[in-house]
Amino acid sequence: LLRLFCLAENIMHKMPHLIFKKFAETTFALLSISDSDLKCTIFQCFRKILQLQPADTTLPATTNILLIDLLRDFASNAMDPSITCPWMEALCESHLCLATKDHAKSMATLKASLKLIFQTFDLGKDFVALTTYKVISRIMEHCVQSDEELANYSIDLCDEALNPRSVAVWRHVLRTETKIFEVCKGAITQEPFGRALKTLAGLRNDVVGAAVRHIGAENVLRVLPLELDAQNVPIVTQFERSWLVPILRINIFNQSIAFALQYFLPLAHRLRREVPSDVVRRKTFITLSDQLWDLLPNLLSSATDFEQNFPHLAQILGKVLLEQRDLRLIVLSSLRSALRYALQPDAAEAKKDVMRFFAYSFLRKLCTLYTVSNITMESMEGITGNSLKTLRCSILETVRMYVELTPNNVIDNFVNLAVEKAQIKDMGLDQKIRVLDIMAALVKKASVSGLSSMFPSIQPWFICSEVALQKKAFRILEEIMKRMNDEAVKDFFACSTDEINNVLDQDLDSIAKSARAALVAVYYVKLSSLTSLKDVESFGKKFLRRIIICLDKSHNIRTRSNALKCFVKLCQQLILSGSDESKSPSTVLHPILNIIFGMLNPERLYPNEDSVEVVRSSTIALNIIAQKFTRILDASLLSRLVAHACSWISDGRPLIRVLIIRLLRMLAKKLPDYTMQQY
């Protein structure tokens, strides 16, 4: 019999109406047999049949309604939990099937079914509650959706399900309520929503967050107001709904800026204005004010009235940025949220125009704050150490983002100002470095005239003995080189090619190790622009030795990472360009290995070169070749690699020997078995 049901579930949805009806009547008659396995199989059979969406000729709407009634009649609180799950799934699928045929009739019959389904939470069984959650989720998504009556009824049923009998499965009840908020957000009216929220407020759980996220903070706060009165100190210090503020911060989306302007920000302002003299209470007031301000970043990431009300908010943000030092990080985070929102691929042009309008005002404030000297920040504003570093990182990140939406004429103005400031001789080193940071951020959108004034101003620092200035100069050059393929500035590169090449050709010893990360990044950009084999080979002869030396452990992680990318890119470019000229990978990589083995020869060391550094970096380069290109090398190059590894395994320097062991291990791992047998 069970096998017959397995067969029926795959074919019955195609049968004529009379056969289907007869099958259903016969099958439901079998439910009187007290066999749990049989009952489960029957319900699973109907679930599968209904999932396959029988046509109207097989299951008309009238028969579907009868089927729903029969399934409902089977419900009982005393039902075996193992049968409850397939029964619920069958009932759910019958409603979904009816909804596709006649949505109105499905809605009319659904109310009674929802009551029965929600009552299964009272069984207190985890696996049953999980199935209930899934079933209700499907019903909400495919049937209820925007039906106001059923959405409200479902919320009330959730409220009823939070009872002592279902304590063990409350988490599933709450998940169900979250799903209802998510799917039916527009259909839930204030009265049932208020009742549900008051219940949830007693539990203080994440479902309130779902209500904030999907139904709106404004609606939630109508039911659960913060009840903060800045003039009533006891209410503030014993703030009973303090738990609600973090929930709002995480979940406040698709809310209007107007609501913040009318509610949160005035309240935060009053709290700061009415700060008591007592230290503990003062801290409470300021913390609450900060928490209210901290709602802004998330709100601005999806504000519904951005174009209309951000201009009003921008004036407040600009003022607070300069005057309230403890709110600066929040204001900067809010600005970045607004910028990300405006920079989304599908963002309306009006949003971008709003941010462009305030670009000059905000950039002027940001650049001023960023370039203030350490002494001034410490003495005037009391910001020191990590706090100052964090603030400056946040400002610079905001500037980099804002440059994307800043008009070109504004960018050029700031470039000229930065160039002028950088030339001031009396300016302290720390200020000059930060001016160069701003300059590097502006490069991304600078015009030909901007780049033409910027590049000559930093040229003296490429050979400067001051490491920090040299590092920043190469960092700016890196950003400039990233625009090599930008048509808007091709005239700059046409005029400045010789000067840039002179910078790249300078001796590696004259470049500080901390500046080499940017130098190698410039090499990478230049290499990426080469297309012919001749140009790539010429590049390799000129710069490969420098790139390999930058692989050494004495350099910082960024330098080594850039050097690795550049080295691999060079090899790949050679192989790719060589294939266009019918040259094998081994042929084009042969000069690379010659240079590496030449560096391993002590007699070929350049003056002032550290032998350990050169040998170590060269061995790292061999390891990279073994890891990336072993399978495409010919026998002569493989023999050379193996011979080198075997001869250097006895090197007395542990730092070198461990790299040789890694090289041998990599060869053993990558070489085919037949090749390994030869060695």
pTM of the predicted protein model: 0.82
Residue 283, token pair as written in the block:
């801290």
d(CA 596, CA 169): 67
How far is it between the farthest Cα atoms of the chain? 98
Is residue 124 within 8 Å of residue 167, measured between CB atoms?
yes
Those residues with Cβ within 8 angstroms of residue 509's Cβ, 6 or more apart along the chain or in another chain:
608
C-alpha span between 620 and 118 (Å, rounded): 65
**What band does 609 get if pLDDT is binned at 50, 70 and 90?**
low
How is residue 523 annotated by DSSP? H
The Cα–Cα gap between 443 and 481 comes to 10
CA distance 35 to 218: 53
pLDDT at residue 24 tops 90: no
DSSP letter string, 491-518: HHHHHHHHHHHHHHHS-GGGS-GGGHHH
Spatial contact of 553 and 560, defined as CB atoms under 8 Å apart: yes
Query: Above 90 in pLDDT, residue 39?
Result: no
In terms of C-beta density within 10 A (0-12 exposed, 13-18 middle, 19 or more buried), how is residue 306 classed?
A: buried
Q: What digits encode the pLDDT tens for the residues 435-476?
A: 999 999 999 999 999 999 999 999 999 988 889 999 999 999
The answer to whether residues 478 and 469 touch, using CB atoms and an 8 Å cutoff, is: no
Rounded Cα distance between 619 and 446, Å, is 41
For 135, counting Cβ atoms within 10 Å of its Cβ (0-12 exposed, 13-18 middle, 19+ buried), the class is: buried
For the cut 60, the answer to whether the pLDDT of residue 189 exceeds it is: yes
As a residue count, the chain comes to: 679
For residue range 271-285, list pLDDT tens digits in order.
Answer: 888 887 788 888 888
The pLDDT tens digits for 378-409 are 766 667 777 888 999 999 999 999 999 999 99
